[in-house]
Amino acid sequence: MSETRELKDKVAIVTGAARNVGRAIAAELALGGARVCVNALSSKQQADETAEIINKAGGDAFVHIADITQAGDVQGMIDETLKRYGRIDILVNNAAAREEFPFEEITFEAWKRLSAIILDGAFLCSQACLPAMKKSGDATIINIGGQSGDCGMPERATISAAKAGLAGFTRGVAMDVAKDSINVNYVSPGPVNTEGSMMVRHANSGFKKKRATPIGRSVECDEIAGLVRYLCGPKARAITGQKIMINGGILMT
């Protein structure tokens, strides 16, 4: 494990941690010394692989399969984490869906499903973690957004709306819980180098050329994870209620 263990004795829950960005975040927090609950909806084998990566490296992680859109499932995840580790200091609301439809083809059911995963999940997990986080005295909630919520993206009206809502949720919650020494921030990646990313799917399209990042490449999962780790650490306690972009300069503010 890492020589710098600034998150030693911390306990983290990472939703959607079976692969890609979620896996990288879970592993990076573990490198910092945190014990980790690896959450997934149904990808148990991949979630087990995430936990195995952490445990083989000398960390401490377990898997909890739960539907974060269901209050009972969320409370069960919180209860198991507290039973195993006795505390919760970090929550990373990473779970999302990547469905894409032209606007006229979006069904109301799909709209509600994607919104529930991104917004309802963040709400339920954050609220359920709050009692334990208040006891921490030094807790952090990170909401993982995305480029879809920052600018127009084709066939992503639902995700764009939900991610933009997540940014507003971040600011509102940050104001309410600052008195409890809980930081809340929103990390917004640009094109990410994963198999499911828009950059890969549109590799041969004109859209990629229009959206090529100034740095000439997509963002790596490990880079996002490193930013999340910093925001959870002791040197980021003055950062709260912020949208922090990590996008290779594709959108500058």
Q: What is the pLDDT at residue 213? A: 87
Q: What is the mean pLDDT of residues 91-119?
A: 93
pLDDT in tens, 194-235: 755 544 444 334 445 455 789 998 899 999 999 999 999 999
For residue 237, the tally of other CB atoms under 10 A from its CB is 12
Q: Of the ranges 29-38, 95-104, 175-184, 237-246, which one carries the lowest mean pLDDT score?
A: 95-104
Domains and CATH numbers, the chain: 11-246 (3.40.50.720)
Q: What is the mean pLDDT of residues 129-137?
A: 97
Handedness of CA 179, 171, 20, 74 (dihedral sign): positive
C-alpha 185/C-alpha 180 separation (Å) is 15
pLDDT in tens, 137-182: 999 999 999 888 888 788 889 999 999 999 999 999 999 999 999 9
Q: Which residue has the higher pLDDT, 41 or 195?
A: 41
Q: What is the mean pLDDT of residues 16-39?
A: 97
Residue 112 sits at φ, ψ, to 5 deg, of -70, -40
pLDDT in tens, 57-96: 999 999 999 999 999 999 999 999 999 999 999 999 999 9
